[in-house]
Amino acid sequence: MAYDPNNIFAKILRGEIPCKKVHETAHSLAFLDINPQAPTHILVIPKGAYVSYDDFAAKAGEAEIVDFIRATGHVAREAGVDASGYRLLFNHGPDSHQEVPHLHVHILAGRPLGPMLVRPKD
């Protein structure tokens, strides 16, 4: 999957599309998901043009990586979900149903989330 500079997250970063921002740092932005899948559903994205976690891990600088990881933890704590638990979800590629070709992590919480994957029926 190639990076598309016109993806929705790139447009949010450029200020072309509004978001409900919950946290921003030099290298990261966190905002509420517009189609929440749990009572708490926050997206954290790096400000750099990375399509996937693998792309980010291979190409991002140390400051970007540290900032993104710390921003994700900070957002979870500020949302008050660290005590009851939360799930971090990264998708990459078509098999995982990645919809936006910009690295993002979903912070999902606020209720029991169930199993990681639905098991196929025999």
pLDDT at 14 over 70: yes
Once rounded to an integer, what is the mean pLDDT over residues 61-66?
A: 98
For 38, other C-beta atoms within 10 Å of its C-beta total 18
Token pair 């140390």 is found at 62
| CA dihedral of 7, 12, 17, 19, whole degrees rounded to 10 | 130
Write down the pLDDT at residue 32.
Answer: 98
Once rounded to an integer, what is the mean pLDDT over residues 11-15?
A: 98
pLDDT at 122 over 70: no
Let me know if 102 is a catalytic residue: no
- How much is the pTM? 0.93
CA–CA separation, 5 vs 50, rounded Å?
A: 10
What percent of the chain has a predicted confidence (pLDDT) above 70? 99
Using only C-alpha atoms, what is the Rg of the chain? Answer: 14
Active-site residue (options: 41, 102, 104, 106) = 104
CA–CA separation, 19 vs 33, rounded Å?
A: 9
